Copies of this chain bind each other. A is one copy, B any other.
Amino acid sequence: MRPRRTRQLAAVEDVLLAASDHPTAAQIHERVAQLMPQVSLGTVYRNLEKLAQAGRAVVVRFDGEVTRYDGTVESHDHFVCRGCGCIVDLFAEVGPAVDTGALERAGYAVAEHSLAVFGTCPACA
C-alpha cells in the first residue's frame, strides 16, 4: 500500500499551503476545482485525511463549527475573532503560554494540547 503522488493530492496540498484562512473541506474543494473541475468532494476528503495522517495537515475544529484544515503543521494555538470571524495562528512568541506543570505534578502525562482563544481582533476593536 505504497502511497502515490496524484495530481489531486498535490492540488489539495497546494491549496492548503497557500491558504491562510483555515478553509473547510468544501472551500478546499472549491479552490481545487478551479484548476481541476472534475475533482470530487470525496477525493478532497480522502486526500485531506491522507495529509493529516502524514502530518502534513492539521485538523482543527472549534466548538460548534465545521471542521477546518490548517496547512501550518508546527504546533500552535488559535485566536478566533468574534467580530470578523478571522482565525489567527498563534505561535510561542505571541501566543498564550500553557503551563501544564501542576497537571504533570498530579501524575498526568501531557502529550499535546488544543487551545482556541476567543475575543476581538485589533482590526475589529
Question: At the interface, yes or no: A46 with Cβ under 8 Å from chain B?
Answer: no
How far apart are the CA atoms of A98 and B122 in the complex, in Å?
A: 20
Q: A111, B119: Cβ atoms under 8 Å?
A: yes
Give A113 to B79 CA distance when docked, in angstroms. 9
Q: Are A106 and B94 in contact (CB under 8 A)?
A: yes
Pick from A10-18, A31-39, A59-67 the stretch touching chain B: A59-67
Contact (Cβ within 8 A) A122 B106: yes
Of B61, B99, B102, which contacts A63 at CB under 8 A?
A: B61
A6 at the interface (CB under 8 A from B): no
7 tightest Cβ-Cβ pairs between the two chains A and B: A107-B122, A109-B120, A111-B119, A110-B119, A96-B100, A113-B117, A97-B99
